[in-house]
């Protein structure tokens, strides 16, 4: 082999070696980039999964129970619905400055429910029309009452006592009611019970929060 041929051969070998090194470097860089992208993609997926899970947890409101009733305490005991309750009212003796009436809501179901606040109370005539105004709320909103099966929550209705026993003294009393219409707190449905009391006098008609 002549010297010129040897130089040419060495040049070709060097070129081939350089070309191989470049290809190796390129492949290595591509592998490194792919690995980096995979790691980055894995991290993003993990974050997205956590985000979706947190969002799902927020959307599942803790106040919703499996049977569709709202929970007053954010736990497993549902808020009392109107359909769970029965209504009654009777005179309470001993009021010093007027007349008091005990309004009771009884849990008629076989499971506990929660109730809190003041009921909305209306008096109805025989024709079903409202007599006067709804009872005005007085006092504090009260505490949450857990109504076990067949137990009662109580609110006090109050009115003035004018004139004689029947409250007809100066003619300022409303007409005697035929029934009582009550919306338990937290519900949009009413309970109706036939009753000729209370008869409101002096334009005074109030209701307290429910309690034991």
Q: Is the predicted pLDDT of residue 48 greater than 80, yes or no? A: no
What is the average pLDDT across 94-123?
A: 95
Percent with pLDDT over 90 in the chain: 55
pTM of the model: 0.64
Which strands make up the sheet holding 99-107, listed edge to edge?
A: 85-92, 99-107, 152-159, 205-207, 136-137
What's residue 22's pLDDT? 54
Over residues 97-109, the mean pLDDT reads: 96
The whole-number pLDDT of residue 5 equals 46
Peptide bond before 198: cis, by omega within 30 degrees of 0?
Answer: yes
Q: How confident is the model at residue 94 (pLDDT cuts 50, 70, 90)?
A: confident
Q: What is the mean pLDDT of residues 47-75?
A: 38
Q: Minimal CA–CA distance to 80: which of 61, 60, 107?
A: 107
- More confident: 93 or 112: 112
């Amino acid at each position: 082999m002549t010297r010129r041929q040897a130089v040419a051969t060495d040049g070709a070998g060097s070129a081939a070696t350089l070309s191989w090194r470049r290809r190796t470097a390129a492949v290595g860089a591509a592998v490194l980039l792919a690995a980096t992208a995979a790691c980055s993609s894995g991290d993003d997926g993990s974050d997205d999964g956590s985000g979706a899970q947190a969002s799902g947890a927020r959307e599942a409101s803790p106040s919703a129970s499996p049977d569709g009733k709202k929970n007053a305490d954010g736990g497993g005991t549902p808020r009392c619905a109107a359909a769970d309750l029965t209504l009654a009212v009777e005179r309470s003796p001993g009021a010093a400055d007027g007349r008091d009436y005990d309004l009771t809501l009884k849990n008629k179901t076989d499971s506990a429910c929660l109730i809190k606040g003041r009921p909305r109370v209306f008096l109805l005539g025989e024709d079903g029309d409202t007599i006067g105004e709804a009872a005005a709320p007085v006092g504090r909103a009260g505490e949450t009452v857990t109504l076990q099966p067949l137990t009662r929550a109580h609110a006090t209705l109050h009115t003035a006592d004018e004139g004689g026993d029947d409250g007809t003294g100066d003619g300022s009393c409303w007409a005697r009611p035929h029934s009582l219409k009550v919306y338990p707190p937290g519900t949009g449905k009413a309970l109706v019970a036939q009753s000729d009391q209370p008869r409101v006098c002096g334009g005074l008609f109030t209701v307290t929060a429910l309690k034991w």
